[in-house]
Structure 1
Amino acid sequence: MSSQDYSDSYARDRAEIEDLMARYLFALDYNDLDSFIEMFTDDAEFEFARGRVAGKANILETVKGFKKRIGEHYKDEDGNPAVLRHVLAHTAVRVEGDRAWTRAQWFEMANDGPGKSLKMGTFGIYEDKLARVGGRWLFTERRILNEFLPGRESGPENPIRSMDAVAAL
């Protein structure tokens, strides 16, 4: 297992990265796509169940399409688009200078259960690469694995091992 360097700046870097990850989910869930797209570098890559895109303009269009499909798929019992909320579970963060990597578990829930109650929906793993640009941490790559879709699961090995292996390069 690769060891993490917990330098004096690690706590601050980790706090900033965790804040970025939380802001990402709030922006996504509350349809604040202007804030959402500012969390990526200009040449960032974004991969999810429907494919992989590069560049902020392509990421933004992809997420707009995703948001539209979600609104059509998730309905409350009255037929209205359900309120969908993503939740970030435990997160591992690896920092090496101005580069960082994360592995985090996520799940989502919506009010599409009986009586508009919460119903657990999908879940998976985020695999991120980040860079400090102009003093801010930004995503250079976000890979979203969906544990419930064939071919999109994280696999049997501990995801932290793959993060440490990439960071070691």
Structure 2
Amino acid sequence: MMFRKIALAGAFLIAAPALPAQAQVTYGPTYAQDRAQIEDLHARYLFAIDYHDWDAYVATFAENGELEFANGTSRGRDAIRKAVTDFSAGIGRFYHTADGKPAKLRHIILQTAIRVEGDRAWSRSQWLEMANNGPGDEPKIGTYGIYEDEMKQVDGQWLFAKRRVLNEFIPNRNSGPGNPVSTMDQTAERP
């Protein structure tokens, strides 16, 4: 019986089609270091927004960086700061504790695919946002979506050139219908 299971598994592997070309990614010699720096950039962005550290937040963007989210698109650090602080000031209307105080929000990245080509990089990340606005101020998931990022190296430091925040539950702000990683690879392969 065990031999039959192993034989069937082996037959399946032999008969399985090859991975599509876009799934066969090659990595350069500095990929591990670039990836570590890009993951650090993502974490710094999230800690900055969750702790209202707007200087640290805008510092994750290139000088002429772009942020697109449900409220629109902002270009340049000053415009990004204004957009995110205005958004943050109003978030208490949606997320509040039982006594009406603004809830604490915490953003989490679940997984990230990163592609690096020289001094340019792209990533796709699934994220969710939790807040202590559940019954009895318990945490609950409020929103979730995809980050579509383009990054560039400036003086040896990775920064967001463009961050597009997609909210999977808002009409026309979701990522589908195709695989976001395939879309990232197609974008990276354009000149």
TM, length-normalised to structure 2: 0.86
Alignment partner, residue 34 of structure 1? 55
Alignment partner, residue 114 of structure 2? 93
Alignment partner, residue 137 of structure 1? 158
Return the letter of the residue paired with 2:118.
Answer: G
Alignment partner, residue 82 of structure 2? 61
Alignment partner, residue 77 of structure 1? 98
Alignment partner, residue 187 of structure 2? 166
- Aligned-pair distance for 1:66? 1.0
- Aligned-pair distance for 1:6? 1.0
**Greater share of helix residues, 1 or 2?**
2
Indicate if the aligned counterparts of 1:44 and 1:55 stay in contact, CA closer than 8 A: yes
Secondary structure of 2:108's counterpart equals strand
Alignment partner, residue 71 of structure 2? 50
- Tell me: higher relative CO, structure 1 or 2? Use CA pairs within 8 A at least 6 residues apart: 1
Judge which range, 1-10 or 50-59, deviates more.
Answer: 1-10
1:8 aligned onto 2:29: yes
Indicate if the aligned counterparts of 1:98 and 1:131 stay in contact, CA closer than 8 A: yes
* Matched residue count: 169
Determine the C-alpha separation between the residues in 1 that align with 2:132 and 2:112: 25
Alignment partner, residue 108 of structure 1? 129
- Aligned-pair distance for 1:4? 2.8
Query: Which protein shows a greater Rg?
Result: 2
TM, length-normalised to structure 1: 0.97
Secondary structure of 2:102's counterpart equals coil
Write out per-residue CA displacement over residues 102-159 of structure 1, whole angstroms, 9 at most, x where no aligned residue: 0000000100001110111100000000001001000000000000100101112100
**Greater share of strand residues, 1 or 2?**
1
Determine the C-alpha separation between the residues in 1 that align with 2:166 and 2:52: 21
Judge which range, 139-148 or 65-74, deviates more.
Answer: 65-74
Determine the C-alpha separation between the residues in 2 that align with 1:120 and 1:46: 23
